Structure 1
Amino acid sequence: MYLNILTVIRCKAAVAWEPNKPLMIEEIEVAPPQANEVRIKIVASSLCRSDLYFLLEGKNGSNFPMVLGHEAAGIVESVGPGVTEFKQGDKVIPIFLPQCRECRFCKSPKTNLCCVRFLEFYQRKRGMPEPVSRLTCKGKKLTQFMRTSTFSEYTVVKQNAVAKIEPAAPLDKVCLLGCGISTGYGAAVNTAKVEPGSTCAVFGLGAVGLAAVMGCKAAGAKRIIAVDTNPDKFDKAKEFGATNFVNPKDHDKPISQVLSDMTNGGVDYSLECIGNVGVMRSALESCVKGWGVSVIVGFTNEHDLSARPIQLISGRTWTGSAFGGFKSKDGVQQMVKAYMDKKIKVDEFITHNLTLNEVNDAIELLKQGKR
């Protein structure tokens, strides 16, 4: 009889020991996967602004030390008891948003959220401990950021937050589909439900914003207005389908008024892809009365939103989007297939290729807007 005995793996990871400090490349221990868990060899991981949001100030109760990273792709190294969906050697993408396929939310076509994440959030609010981490360094447990921690050569993830992808998919490209591209693209296609011939405005031209531009184009928008204070991003936005470009710094009146003047009363759809509550309101006010839809895509949890009731009573819709409205495991597979079928761009989002040892250089590039 063959007995598969899994052991602890020692590998390199970028550890955040405290807020707003450089990450340290350390040797860590990655425990074997337990029931319903998958241990993954990370081949490629990209850097998302959400990683910086939690690193720079320890936002939203971040527990240090931790290993950041949540956009990645890799190969299954081993599986724990009860795992039937995956086997050693499978190509996969870990996902920060689970899809258990069994809870009320997963069974509803009205949302892509899952009760698994709600339960974890509720437990933290009640002061209960974080879910057990499989990562350890120097005798200390490392918090697994978004339950993924992909700035490590190996990680362990629940099987309900892993998507199997086709064997031919290039891992150094499709890793971006684990968050940013899917989030922006889906916000336009799934959440806003952009219609053919419509006019859209996308606020913020980072990876999520560019993906939103791409989604608006795929949905058939006739006019896509890209809004950013960095004019260097406009050429890239044009590559993804933007037709007009507006820099708020070039105008002496509110950006919502600028867009209203450009579009005979406002855009049909607006997508805020920055995570700034002031810009969120501007995006709402940029929509046409009667039917305009504004989608909050950028993440922040530090400030309250405000708007005048008449702005909604007049017929606008204000909504939010998590992971682009995709049921996570299903959506990642759909996006990988779309990339392999050359229906979406992915390679064009990649600006630098760096090693794990250069992770702090990557963070500086992102801070400077040179992603």
Structure 2
Amino acid sequence: MPRPYLHLQPAVPSCTQGFHARHGFRQIGSAKPPPSTTAGDSSSQTTWPLLEKLSDAELQLPGQHQASTLHHCWRQLLSDHMATSGKVIRCRAAVAWAAGKSLSVEEIEVAPPKAREVRVKMVATGICHTDEHVLEGNFPDVDFPVILGHEGAGIVESIGEGVTSVKPGDKVILFPLPQCGECSFCLNPDSNYCLKSHLTEPQNLMPDKTTRFTCKGKQIQHFLWNSTFAEYTVVPEYTLAKIDAAAPLDKVCVFACGFSTGYGAAVNTAKVKLGSTCAVFGLGGVGLSVVMGCKAAGASRIIAIDINKDKFAKAKEMGATECINPQDFKKPIQQVLTEMTGHGVDYSFEAIGTADTLIAALASCNMNTGVCVMVGVLPAGSTVPIDPFLLLSGRTCKGTLAGGWKMRDSIPKLVASYLEKKFNSDLLITHTLPFAKINEGFELLRAGKSIRTVMLF
């Protein structure tokens, strides 16, 4: 039987670990109280210590039962969260009120999930360059005000009618490319697209064309049916997947987009072959994930390309065999790569999101058998002027969405591979910040100082 523990509520004066031990308790962490549904309640700003009653044996052998203690703590917190089921939850969210403006951390109301929807208590979320594209006004069909974020992991708080794949308390990863399991694309084993994707129909509202978010009396839009920049979010069941309970959510949240997109671009979309030569344009989180995918596929030569030399050490740590800066050459980078490899690379990957780098990546491929994969997201309305002879000779240029993974099927498998240490995606995470500092996370991204910043709630 689990041993009892309690919340030390804020009415009790602040205590030290020594105080706890003398009174037969251990402080095992801290937590927010259950969110209130009463307007004006200030408890959402309060943190309560969590105390567990120590047994006599533990008083003599401190630390022997840390794992069971934390498990019991989590179960009790889960019980508290379940008390919110069916109720509106007040919590914090980073709201984008308009393009070109910083995010504003606000108190919002999150409605309960409707049929086939899931409400999730977010634990961690990454900041992706796609979120920045929205703030710049360069991502199509997004309405403001909106709660961004699409690289999150958390705990199921409650479920709507008809939900069968998850239950309250499950660890889950949310992802931006749905897998409804019913449309013609989902039923095609060679496709990972879904007709419920944002590219088919904007996901600014839930499937019933209403929002679950309000702030200051205004309706707030959803983003990619994720909106992970909120302490609680509501998503359709087909945009999340249950994962192993042992998975660290602050590490695997990047599987929702950045890591899975880059890694899958190499192993799924390009199908990199053993002994091949690869070039990766752009060494952000996605590009470095491509490098890891090329290495996992057995490429013998991986040339990493970026104008920021500070990223080269990390690229080599992840598997790059060479790193080059285009600014160090007077020749076009595609000519440099062709001379380095003899006839061009077997596979090239554009992970920046500009027309010029996409053309360079395509031109750097072997003229007959080379494959170029477009991974980066170009600004909305962009056009790419391509010399047709680049393709006439036999080159292939193709795009990738979410790395070619059927997300609901594949995310749990990727997490299992992570737990088996088949790859080290932790190397992507260079910064971890509290959620209140989310704008600092975006500044790190804009300055090129981070690969992936993870925000913790």
Shorter-chain TM-score: what band? over 0.9
Contact 2:85 2:157 (C-alpha < 8 Å) held by counterparts: no
2:191 aligned partner, one-letter code? T
Q: What whole-Å deviation, never above 9, does each CA across 1:38-71 have from its counterpart, x for those lacking one?
A: 0000000110000000012263232111111100
Cα distance change on mapping 1:231 and 1:298 into 2, 3 Å: same
Find the aligned partners of 1:216 and 1:182 in 2 and give their Cα distance.
13
Cα distance change on mapping 1:206 and 1:58 into 2, 3 Å: closer
Shift in Å, 1:20: 1.3
The match for 1:100 among 167, 180, 183 is: 180
Shift in Å, 1:83: 0.5
Aligned to 1:334: 413
The match for 1:21 among 101, 109, 114 is: 101
Shift in Å, 1:305: 1.4
Bigger drift between 57-66 and 278-287 goes to 57-66
Cα distance change on mapping 1:11 and 1:5 into 2, 3 Å: closer
Contact 2:108 2:213 (C-alpha < 8 Å) held by counterparts: yes
The match for 1:246 among 324, 342, 359 is: 324
Indicate the SS of the match to 1:225: strand
TM-score (norm 1): 0.95
Aligned to 2:170: 90
Cα distance change on mapping 1:120 and 1:270 into 2, 3 Å: closer
Cα distance change on mapping 1:101 and 1:225 into 2, 3 Å: same
Aligned to 1:191: 269
Cα distance change on mapping 1:123 and 1:48 into 2, 3 Å: closer
Higher relative contact order (CA 8 A, sep 6+): 1
Find the aligned partners of 1:4 and 1:49 in 2 and give their Cα distance.
33
Runs of at least 5 residues in structure 2 that lack an aligned partner in the other structure: 1-82, 451-457
Find the aligned partners of 1:30 and 1:346 in 2 and give their Cα distance.
32
Contact 2:203 2:224 (C-alpha < 8 Å) held by counterparts: no
Indicate the SS of the match to 1:288: coil
The match for 1:352 among 421, 425, 431 is: 431
Aligned to 1:179: 257
TM-score (norm 2): 0.78
Aligned to 1:256: 334
Aligned to 2:116: 36
1:307 aligned partner, one-letter code? I
The match for 2:248 among 161, 166, 170 is: 170
Contact 1:120 1:131 (C-alpha < 8 Å) held by counterparts: no
Find the aligned partners of 1:83 and 1:204 in 2 and give their Cα distance.
40
Runs of at least 5 residues in structure 1 that lack an aligned partner in the other structure: none
Contact 2:183 2:195 (C-alpha < 8 Å) held by counterparts: yes
The match for 1:140 among 218, 227, 232 is: 218
Shift in Å, 1:110: 2.0
Find the aligned partners of 2:359 and 2:158 in 1 and give their Cα distance.
47
Contact 2:88 2:111 (C-alpha < 8 Å) held by counterparts: yes
Shift in Å, 1:21: 1.0
Shift in Å, 1:331: 1.8
Find the aligned partners of 1:47 and 1:109 in 2 and give their Cα distance.
31
Find the aligned partners of 1:118 and 1:150 in 2 and give their Cα distance.
16
Q: What whole-Å deviation, never above 9, does each CA across 1:149-185 have from its counterpart, x for those lacking one?
A: 1010000000011111010000010001000000000
2:434 aligned partner, one-letter code? T
Equivalenced residues, count: 365
- The structure with the larger Rg is 2
Aligned to 2:128: 48
